[in-house]
Amino acid sequence: MIFTMRKTVVLSLALLLGCAGLPGCSARGRYASQDRQAVDHYAQAKKLQTSGDLDAALAEFKKAIAANPSLASAHAAMGDIYRKKNDLPAATLSYEEAVKHNPENFRNNYNCGYLHQTLAQTERALSAVKDHLVRAIELYAQARQLRPDDYGTLINLGVCYFRLGQYDQAEGTFKAAIAVDPYPAHAYTNLGAIYDAQGAAYEAVTMYRQSLERDGHQPEVLMNLAAVYVRQGKFAAALRDYQTAQSMLEEPAPALERLGYCYYHMGLYERAEDYYNQALEHQPRNAEAHCGLGIVYMTYFVLDRSRQDCRDKGLAEWKLSLEINPEQPTLAGLVDKYTPQATTAKSASSN
């Protein structure tokens, strides 16, 4: 888990500047008239936006922009409305225009960066994800120049670096966030994720623990910490954190499944069976829990070949797991290996 600062995108308010010109100049007079029209439409749009009539407000903001295309505050306000209407692509385009016309405005850069970062989470094509993250980094970097000590900018910038696999830049940015404010948990959580991704178990555990010292109610961090212990074979330590996470999670199935996994590897098969079943009570289509429960049943069969009922139950659980998640080639191989017809055919061919 990598933590993003989910700030509410804030309004970008800029001064509406008129065009100072020489009296009697017709061109200047035309520009001044356009500016007055832009101001009038903008003021009307803000009233409509405040009253909640967003469609009418959008129409007025568009008229303001038609009169003065460089009106960054109108572009930014349209971005806010599109975001509220959950039209993130349109919101992003509006904020891009706001940044284009007022690149020295912190909020324009931050909001546009946040929207690109959010869109990256919705894309499936890796090239599109990368494009959004690269652009978010550019925008956050500009925001950072404008406000070097903004904690949220540093956190989100670090997250974008992390998602692109640029771990050194991410680490430096999170450490800069800690230098700004050492008390929130976010930067420590994310440093833990960086070290975890690089296989630096000791450093990952240290950062996750520091995060939990600052905020003990973080079930996802507890799950991450327990996973590090599992990879180290420290199942007893992992149990403690999975149990704590389970008590905090609204959906406890992932923690229950992991508890089953730990108990299985500790040789406590009946307890593993119990926790896998508990996970499936909460989440019947949990592929990992079906797989784990199948392993428990098949272990009973391997230990006592007379328990063919356990073999059959194990195969049934594995097939359910594959039905939910077909991308498990190792499990598919186990199904082939333990299916009775396959076993009989192999015995006949060997003879």
Domain CATH number, residue 102: 1.25.40.10
Is residue 101 one of the residues assigned to a domain? yes
The mean pLDDT values, 10 residues at a time, for the chain of 351 residues are 48 30 35 71 90 93 92 94 95 97 96 96 95 98 97 96 97 98 96 96 97 96 97 96 96 98 98 98 98 98 96 97 97 95 50 45
Residue numbers of the domain that contains 85:
1-10+38-120
Is residue 286 one of the residues assigned to a domain? no
Quote the pLDDT of residue 35. Answer: 75
Distance CA 314, CA 228 (A): 28
Distance CA 94, CA 325 (A): 40
3-state helix, strand, coil in the chain (%, to 5): 75, 0, 25
Checking phi first, is residue 5 left (phi over 0); if not, alpha (psi -120 to 50) or beta?
beta
3-state secondary structure of 185: coil
Predicted model pTM: 0.82
Is residue 167 one of the residues assigned to a domain? no
Quote the pLDDT of residue 341. Answer: 76
Quote the pLDDT of residue 5. Answer: 56
Is residue 133 one of the residues assigned to a domain? no
Is residue 129 one of the residues assigned to a domain? no
Residue 148 near residue 142, CB atoms below 8 Å: no
Is residue 51 one of the residues assigned to a domain? yes
Quote the pLDDT of residue 241. Answer: 97
| Of 287, 295, 292, nearest in space to 322 by CA | 287
Q: How many domains does the chain have?
A: 1
Is residue 130 one of the residues assigned to a domain? no
Maximum C-alpha span of the chain = 108
Residue 79 near residue 94, CB atoms below 8 Å: yes
Is residue 127 one of the residues assigned to a domain? no
